[in-house]
Amino acid sequence: MLLSDKYPFLTNYFESVIKSNPDRLAHSILFYGNDIESQYKMALEIARLLNCTGDKTDECQCLNCKWIREGKHPAVLTISRVDNKPDDDSSKTVISVRQSELIRNSLITSSDFHRVFIFCDRDDDGNIRGLNQFNFQEATANSLLKSIEEPSERVTFIFLTRDKDDLISTIISRSQCFFMPTRKRADFSYDKVLPVIENYWDINRAEAFNFSEKLETLTKEEDAVIVLEQLQNYMLAVLKTNPKQRFLIDDIKSVELSKQEINIGMKSDTVFDELCLKLIR
Ligand SMILES: [Zn+2]
């Protein structure tokens, strides 16, 4: 499912502002709500629209759009306790004051790009998580305030959190805040993927890409992450009745990695191809 189907109001809003007059976009944006992964996707989509040199569509193949989808755009940076730290920064649990200073200093020079800094947390498995007062402390937030208040041209700060009360008020008061409702379904069903995944361990290795294509087809109706979650649900259900099938545990982990790849914006067909080569032995 496309972000624009999931959050039509928000995507329309950002699209129209950026297309008509990007200067009207707030320099500091805060998303809050339980679905941090969708917040992160929305942040990347804003960064893409701001930097796209093509037609701004979901399929645009301009270099900026490609870089952002691949997570390697030089001016679109995720800032977390593990991402984009100075080499000799030994802080492990927080976004450090030094990270904030690094950003401040980088803004002194001009850039060809619209720079976007996405502030969030990341857990030990690499999943995007929200900011709170432990991982994003007052000293770090305060050292950013000046950059947010008197922003350089073409710079946008985006903050992701579950609950606005988890962030210090000085950031909230300087940001345009958007609530993102949860659309995630927490269930254990696998009805959508069953026709494709049933007894997948019997599928011949030569059929791996065919299998991948079938999974890709499912994403026309469902979000790729939901397809992957249903794969995991199926594997878990089989594992419960065949606890000795240890390979299922490896497969569940492989699918977890694929979910993370989707969440950082990799294209689903590439992710499914790689996954199927692992699942179809
Ligand atoms: Zn583009």
Determine the distance separating the centroid of ligand 1 and the alpha carbon of 41, expressed in angstroms: 16
- pLDDT for 118 equals 98
Report yes or no on 23 lying in a domain: yes
110 pLDDT higher than 70: yes
- pLDDT for 83 equals 96
Please list the residues that pair with 129 across neighbouring strands: 121
CATH number of 34's domain: 3.40.50.300
Determine the distance separating the centroid of ligand 1 and the alpha carbon of 67, expressed in angstroms: 10
Determine the distance separating the centroid of ligand 1 and the alpha carbon of 187, expressed in angstroms: 35
Residues 40, 100, single domain; the answer is yes
Determine the distance separating the centroid of ligand 1 and the alpha carbon of 46, expressed in angstroms: 12
Residues 122, 260, single domain; the answer is no
2 pLDDT higher than 80: no
Determine the distance separating the centroid of ligand 1 and the alpha carbon of 57, expressed in angstroms: 7
Residues 226, 274, single domain; the answer is yes
Determine the distance separating the centroid of ligand 1 and the alpha carbon of 142, expressed in angstroms: 34
- pLDDT for 9 equals 87
Percent of the chain with pLDDT over 90: 75
Residues 79, 201, single domain; the answer is no
Determine the distance separating the centroid of ligand 1 and the alpha carbon of 6, expressed in angstroms: 21
Determine the distance separating the centroid of ligand 1 and the alpha carbon of 239, expressed in angstroms: 43
Residues 22, 77, single domain; the answer is yes
CB-proximal residues (5 Å) to ion ligand 1: 52, 54, 60, 62, 65
pLDDT in tens, 17-45: 999 998 889 999 999 988 999 999 999 99
- pLDDT for 273 equals 95
Residues 152, 45, single domain; the answer is yes
Residues 132, 223, single domain; the answer is no
Determine the distance separating the centroid of ligand 1 and the alpha carbon of 68, expressed in angstroms: 9
Residues 168, 211, single domain; the answer is no
Determine the distance separating the centroid of ligand 1 and the alpha carbon of 51, expressed in angstroms: 7
Determine the distance separating the centroid of ligand 1 and the alpha carbon of 65, expressed in angstroms: 4
Q: What is the mean pLDDT of residues 198-216?
A: 93
Determine the distance separating the centroid of ligand 1 and the alpha carbon of 78, expressed in angstroms: 20
263 pLDDT higher than 90: no
- pLDDT for 183 equals 67
Q: What is the DSSP string of 8-71?
A: HHHHHHHHHHHHH-GGGS-SEEEEESS-HHHHHHHHHHHHHHHH--S--STT--SHHHHHHHTT
1 pLDDT higher than 80: no
Residues 85, 122, single domain; the answer is yes
Contact of 25 with 17, CB cutoff 8 Å = yes
Determine the distance separating the centroid of ligand 1 and the alpha carbon of 49, expressed in angstroms: 7
Q: Predicted confidence band at 242 (pLDDT cuts at 50, 70, 90)?
A: confident
Determine the distance separating the centroid of ligand 1 and the alpha carbon of 15, expressed in angstroms: 13
Tokens found for residue 41:
């996707």
Report yes or no on 184 lying in a domain: no
Q: Which domain holds residue 263?
A: 194-279
Residues 88, 65, single domain; the answer is yes
Please list the residues that pair with 164 across neighbouring strands: none
Residues 26, 129, single domain; the answer is yes
Determine the distance separating the centroid of ligand 1 and the alpha carbon of 11, expressed in angstroms: 16
Determine the distance separating the centroid of ligand 1 and the alpha carbon of 52, expressed in angstroms: 4
Report yes or no on 187 lying in a domain: no
pLDDT in tens, 112-169: 999 999 999 999 889 999 999 999 999 999 999 999 988 788 999 999 999 888 898 9
Taking residue 165's Cβ as centre, other Cβ atoms within 10 Å add up to 12
- pLDDT for 267 equals 87
Q: Predicted confidence band at 266 (pLDDT cuts at 50, 70, 90)?
A: confident
Determine the distance separating the centroid of ligand 1 and the alpha carbon of 178, expressed in angstroms: 25
Question: Which of these ranges, 112-116, 125-129, 215-219, 261-265, has the smallest mean pLDDT?
Answer: 261-265
b/e map of 76-102 (b: 16 or more CB within 10 Å)?
bbbbbbebebeeeeeeeebbbbbbbeb
Could you give the number of structural domains in the chain? 2
Longest CA pairwise span in the chain (Å): 61
Determine the distance separating the centroid of ligand 1 and the alpha carbon of 50, expressed in angstroms: 9
pLDDT in tens, 44-87: 999 999 999 999 998 999 999 999 999 999 999 999 999 999 98
b/e map of 184-214 (b: 16 or more CB within 10 Å)?
eeeeeebebbeebbeebeebeeeebeebbeb
- pLDDT for 225 equals 87
- pLDDT for 45 equals 96
185 pLDDT higher than 60: no
4 pLDDT higher than 90: no
